[in-house]
Structure 1
Amino acid sequence: MVQDQPVEVDEKTKVSARAPKGIEEGHYRLVGWGIDTTGRRLIDEICQIAAYTTASNFSQHIMPFSDLNPSSRRRHNLRIVNLGRYRMLKNLKTNKFVKTKSEVSALTDFLNWLENNRGDGTDGIILVYHEFRKTSPGMLLEALRRYNLIERFSRIVKGFANGFNIAAANCKNTTKSFSLRVMSRMLLNKEDDFGNAVDRAQASYEVVVHLGQGERPDLNASGDGNDLEKHIISFVCPFVNPVGAEEEEVAGFKVLLERQNTFRPVFGALLKATLPERRHASHLRRLLAENNIDYEKLKTAYENGAKNAIEEILKNEVPNAKEKDLVELLEILDCFFDPEKKAIQPKPRFFANQNRRPKGRRQIVDNNKENTNKNVNNNAATDNDSTVANIHETPKIESLEEPEPVTTVVQ
């Protein structure tokens, strides 16, 4: 959800991850957590929130106002069912309805659970999650801000730790993929689909604890739980991003979204095309927004210097773009601002199977046609043969003469 910063894993591989600010060592409590959402955008809603510790766990479904998008429905196996005046959340695996609460009630219960399970963490709780594209912290903070719970949350939680960053830093010599499924299979010997927030919360916690224990196997062998817990917390602290830093990232992301939306007139048609074209158009639009370029700036530049002014801006102020992307951006913008040129339109959609019948039906129809043609040809051939035979056949001529009488001689 926020900008990615490439982290060098080795000479050939780059992992897209965020650079956390880190926190000082202290008395913290690690809690694994995860959320299921209706989508991956900042405006999407939470439909399940879960947390895990070795002593207790928390799970609560939330009734969202909007429906889950198709990808989230498949990922979380959840669906909104409308029953007249009521809307219910249904688990597609068990085919049963789940008990839900409103968002404010679920968030309040979550904060109460965090306070009751704080334990010896006098300096706060560290929420551990595992995501390649960081979306969960921002969505949780936005949900808390809607109900004025952000201050209470900041007093309880110190920050967020992404297990993906921890795995990328400690497992770079053994694997190239650091997803939760791969880490769980390698380190915990578990095979799960992780479509549920409860499973992700537990696996995120266990993966981080396993990596921390690997740094000091002597503590694990000695069985000293307090020293081992202190070591794991010290191991996680450099990867923690404080709550204040997450809020700053969310605010910066909102500004980026506003700047991106100014280009809606330019990329509006391309964003309604096929999925590959939408992704490419979003990439081009984001390149401009990331470099503090908005629609008004390009419009003013074109009015003053036409195409050359836009080309100069793209070359000087978009250093992170490829040459091919710059050429395409220049063409799109020039065709849009020049009234004599036609704006670039998406390619027409082509559905390969739109004029095709099912294979079995097509074979039956083809066989029927073939049999019909054969019958017609056979009938035609029979008629022709009979006609030819009638033409060339010599008619029989019967004799009209009376036969001679037979004479009988009587002796």
Structure 2
Amino acid sequence: MVQHEGSNSGDEGSSIPDNPAKGIPTGKYHLVGWGIDTTGRRLIDEIVQIAGFTPTSKFSQYIMPFADLNPMYSRRHNIRVINMPRYRRLKDLKTSQFVKTKSEISALQDFLQWLESVKGEDVDGIILIYHEVRKAAPGMLLEALRRYQLVERFSKVVKGFANGFNIAQTKCANTTKYFSLRVMSKILLNKEEENFSSAVDRARASFEIAVHLAQGERLELDGKPSAEATGKEQHVVDFVCPFVNPISAEEDEIKTFKVLLERQNTFRPVFCDLLKASRSERQHASYLRRLLAENNINYDKLKEAYDTGAKEGLEKVIKNEIANAKEKDLNELLEILDCFFDPEKKAVQPKTPRFYPQYNNRRRQRFNNKNQSSNSDSHSPNASTDNPTTEPVSDDTSPRSEEPEKTAVAAQ
């Protein structure tokens, strides 16, 4: 099966930039909490579980991915892909039970059908609220919908996405310094032992936190607790609308991000060795590579600068066009590029090589040691005497061996 390369490609910094939400006009909307479990944070990664939550309706569906989950995301979501000789299954590591899965297109169609039923005819659209420190879920969902031409149908139902992290960061800045889902759930909802490994739990908590903050904004509460809110209350909708990013804005961000990735990938030969090093060096190399791409610098531009003015040409481009970097990073970037383009110099090598755990070798070594111990026991001197099934060999002749002698006597 397809295995993930982990971070070998240096995609630690390849998530969509979290730009400020543009907001939408107030109207009759329905707030729905949602969440996804994925095989990674890149646009090419797959959705493993998609979930939605309202106080009156819930949705959850597992999806069988084409690629296996890497160990980090398998531990994070408590699920694992089990490869059988003829088929594959998804296993819940908490309950040790296999879960029912569907194909990606079937799960997305079911999710859209559920959203359409939740929307009904009395509201203008749905606002999907999630909670992520670094935004990745909206782009991954839109990319999955685009693969099956479902974006247009999705846009007719959903008006935009709202990140609960941005809401909490704005409204709770004077109360706490951390705004993760676990911290907000503990402070606002008084839930200390929540487990957010599943998309279902994150969808529910995202909805409840947003409603709780919206209730706190009201000057006069009508005595209705936040747990009973349906997500259609006008004060809740008006509270969330400024933090909503419409679908069109998300689409524009994805297009801009893809152009940035194409420009960034032109530097893959330059940072090839550094992207195979330890995690810290891969992250730093990804940062330097993205620094060039964000300032509209590609490989051909630097190649032309080196052919024209050698190292001085590279320095001129880097120092004049990159203004949002430290002097140390610029000097390191100049050294890497100069060593790459100059054939007489050796390319910059990583300081620490990447560590690959030798799990298979350890298992093989234990197996060999076990076989050696069993073989030594079977060749011990007392092995034959200790075996109760061993019978002594008789020196007497068998009846068949006596037959030739009898026939010989009769002939005489």
TM-score for both structures, normalised by structure 2: 0.80
Q: Retained in 2: the 8 A contact 1:27–1:120?
A: no
Q: Retained in 1: the 8 A contact 2:63–2:102?
A: yes
Match of 2:370 in 1: none
Match of 1:135 in 2: 136
Match of 2:240 in 1: 236
Match of 1:347 in 2: 351
Within a 5 Å distance, the mapping from 1:50-65 to structure 2 comes to 50-65=51-66
Pairing 1:210–2:212 present: yes
SS at match of 2:156: helix
Matched residues in 2 for 1:142 and 1:281: separation? Answer: 27
Match of 1:156 in 2: 157
Match of 1:306 in 2: 310
> What per-residue deviation string (whole Å, max 9, x for no partner) do you get for residues 23-57 of structure 1?
00001000000000011111000010000001110
> What per-residue deviation string (whole Å, max 9, x for no partner) do you get for residues 187-214 of structure 1?
0011213010000000000000000000
Q: Retained in 2: the 8 A contact 1:128–1:162?
A: yes
SS at match of 2:292: helix
Match of 1:297 in 2: 301
Q: How many corresponding residue pairs?
A: 340
Q: 4+ residue stretches of structure 1 with deviation over 4 A?
A: 222-228
Task: Decide whether aligned partners of structure 1 residues 212 and 121 sit closer, same or farther in structure 2, where only a CA change above 3 A counts.
Answer: farther
Match of 1:97 in 2: 98
Q: Retained in 1: the 8 A contact 2:17–2:135?
A: no
Percent identical pairs in the alignment equals 68
Task: Decide whether aligned partners of structure 1 residues 226 and 107 sit closer, same or farther in structure 2, where only a CA change above 3 A counts.
Answer: closer
Q: CA RMSD in A?
A: 1.9
State the 1:349 CA deviation: 3.5
> What per-residue deviation string (whole Å, max 9, x for no partner) do you get for residues 108-136 of structure 1?
00000001111465321000000011000
Question: Which residue of 257, 264, 270 corresponds with 2:261?
Answer: 257
Match of 2:196 in 1: 194
Matched residues in 2 for 1:225 and 1:115: separation? Answer: 20
Q: Which moved more, 1:286-295 or 1:114-123?
A: 114-123
> What per-residue deviation string (whole Å, max 9, x for no partner) do you get for residues 132-151 of structure 1?
11000000000000001000
Q: Retained in 1: the 8 A contact 2:54–2:231?
A: no
Match of 1:398 in 2: none
Task: Decide whether aligned partners of structure 1 residues 225 and 346 sit closer, same or farther in structure 2, where only a CA change above 3 A counts.
Answer: closer
Matched residues in 2 for 1:144 and 1:264: separation? Answer: 29
State the 1:288 CA deviation: 0.5
- Unpaired runs of 5+ residues, structure 1, are 5-17, 355-411
Q: Retained in 2: the 8 A contact 1:130–1:180?
A: yes
Instruction: For 2:84, give the aligned amino acid.
Output: L
Compare CA radii of gyration and give the structure with the larger one.
Answer: 1
Instruction: For 1:87, give the aligned amino acid.
Output: R
> What per-residue deviation string (whole Å, max 9, x for no partner) do you get for residues 245-271 of structure 1?
101111111111111110011000100
Q: Retained in 2: the 8 A contact 1:187–1:210?
A: yes
Question: Which residue of 260, 270, 273 corresponds with 1:269?
Answer: 273
Q: Retained in 2: the 8 A contact 1:219–1:228?
A: no
Instruction: For 1:347, give the aligned amino acid.
Output: K
Matched residues in 1 for 2:328 and 2:146: separation? Answer: 41
State the 1:221 CA deviation: 2.5
SS at match of 1:57: strand
Matched residues in 1 for 2:351 and 2:230: separation? Answer: 63
State the 1:230 CA deviation: 0.2
State the 1:306 CA deviation: 1.0
State the 1:347 CA deviation: 2.0
Q: Retained in 2: the 8 A contact 1:38–1:46?
A: yes
Match of 1:115 in 2: 116
TM-score for both structures, normalised by structure 1: 0.80
State the 1:343 CA deviation: 0.8
Matched residues in 2 for 1:209 and 1:340: separation? Answer: 63
